Every structure is written in C-alpha cells, then in structure tokens.
Amino acid sequence: MTLRLGDIAPDFEHDSSEGPIRFHQWLGSDWGVLFSHPADFTPVCTTELGLTAKLKDEFARRNVKVIALSVDGVESHRGWIRDIDETQGTSVNFPILADADRKVATLYDMIHPNASETFTVRSLFVIDPNKKVRLTITYPASTGRNFNEILRVIDSLQLTDSHSVATPGNWQDGDDVVIVPSLKDEEVIRQKFPKGYRAVRPYLRLTPQPGK
C-alpha cells in the first residue's frame, strides 16, 4: 500500500513499549508523528530517539504526539530504551511499537525490498487531527532525520491550515508568508492581513506572518 498526502492514515492495534495501542484512539484530536527504525540497538536510531525525547516540550506545544516503530519485540525495546536514556542523557517519553510481524510496516509501506527485504526504511509520517497524512519523508538507513525540519513543517501546516497563506522556501516561524494566489478580493485581503502586503509580482504577495 502506498500512502499519499491526504490519505487517511491506516488504523491499527499493536503492542508497544507502553502497552497495547489502538492508533487512531491513541491520537485522539492531536497531531501525530509516526516514524520507523530499521532495528533496535542501532546507532543512528539511538541518537534520533534521544533527540525526540529531548524535544518533548516542542512537540507538546504544537499538540503533537510522537510514536516510533521498530521491527523488534517489547523486551528488546525496553532494553534499548535503557541504553537510549543512558547514552543520550534523556528519558524516552513516547511509545515504540513492537512490529515484529511487520504488520504496521506493511500498512505504511515501510519496507522497500531493494533497500532491505526485512528491515524498515527510515520513514516518517505527519498526521493531522482528521487522521490525514500531511507529510511523508523517507530517509536511507544511514542518514539521521533533521527534527528541526520536521518541527518547521508542522509549524507551516498548522499555520496554513488556519490562514490563507503558504510558506516560502526556507521559511522559519516568524518570517513573512505568501498570500495564496486564489485570494483576490482586496477587501477580504485587507481584513485577513491588516498589516498589509508587498506584491513582488501579482502572484507573489508577501505579508507578515499572521499572529506575530
């Protein structure tokens, strides 16, 4: 199954390091990040999970729940968590799915046979409160994720869901944003963007980020 942007994220019930999880129920009305790891006790994944734990407050501020996946079992996960806590100077504060039967990996197309027939690739999904897939990123096993970029995209998604804007290349929270081309009524634009805008081209109109 290939998941595309806008698809409903598949629901599942699976065991984890924090007990059984029914995915959609666990997400509730929050945003979610689901990300996979090739195996337990792997070096890049250990740094990623430690970094994710340290970013707990950043994810919470955005109403985002984080859940990881690895193809090993619960007891292996618990041993690995102890290693992560010790080596990364943190405390893992989110569940790790024990996907030994590859059920979730198959649902989310995380196994790419030309890369590995058994291990998941380094996939990540951002899922909104309506359970729709809003972002997919797949890295090779050798490359760790950039979690600052993941937070940046979540900021963009949440902003553009609430306002008639898009975010330009290399945008960071607080930078100017783009008024969507479909919005043409000047009276509506004045109401929505009281700080005004700068028209670089008729289709490229920059305005201060709403709410800043």
Between 80 and 141, residue with greater pLDDT:
80
Query: Are 109 and 196 in the same domain?
Result: no
Query: Are 179 and 109 in the same domain?
Result: no
For residue 80 the two structure tokens come to 């690995």
User: Once rounded to an integer, what is the mean pLDDT over residues 154-178?
Assistant: 97
Q: Is 153 contained in some domain?
A: no
Tell me if residue 104 is catalytic. no
Query: Are 140 and 174 in the same domain?
Result: no
Q: Is 158 contained in some domain?
A: no
Given a cut of 70, whether residue 115 has pLDDT beyond it is: no
The H or E element containing residue 200 is strand 198-201
Q: What is the pLDDT of residues 3-31, one digit of tens each?
A: 899 999 999 999 999 999 999 999 999 99
Q: Give the chain's domain count.
A: 2
Query: Are 138 and 194 in the same domain?
Result: no
User: Once rounded to an integer, what is the mean pLDDT over residues 89-107?
Assistant: 93
Domain membership of residue 37 as a residue range = 13-144
Q: What is the pLDDT of residues 148-157, one digit of tens each?
A: 999 999 999 9
Q: Is 61 contained in some domain?
A: yes
Query: Are 181 and 84 in the same domain?
Result: no
User: Once rounded to an integer, what is the mean pLDDT over residues 104-118?
Assistant: 67
Q: Is 76 contained in some domain?
A: yes
Q: Round the average pLDDT of the chain to a whole number and report it.
A: 92
Helix (H) and strand (E) counts for the chain? 7, 11
What's the rounded Cα separation, in Å, for the pair 16 and 71? 11
User: Once rounded to an integer, what is the mean pLDDT over residues 153-177?
Assistant: 97
Q: Is 149 contained in some domain?
A: no
Given a cut of 70, whether residue 114 has pLDDT beyond it is: no
CB 110 within 8 A of CB 71: no
**Residue 18, domain CATH:** 3.40.30.10
Q: What is the pLDDT of residue 102?
A: 86
Query: Are 116 and 192 in the same domain?
Result: no
Query: Are 179 and 125 in the same domain?
Result: no
Given a cut of 60, whether residue 188 has pLDDT beyond it is: yes
Q: Is 2 contained in some domain?
A: no
Query: Are 128 and 33 in the same domain?
Result: yes
For residue 203 the two structure tokens come to 């289709």
Q: Is 6 contained in some domain?
A: no
Catalytic pick among 9, 45, 84, 159:
45
Query: Are 107 and 187 in the same domain?
Result: no
Q: Where do we find the tokens 């969507």?
A: 180
Given a cut of 70, whether residue 121 has pLDDT beyond it is: no
Q: What is the pLDDT of residue 117?
A: 45
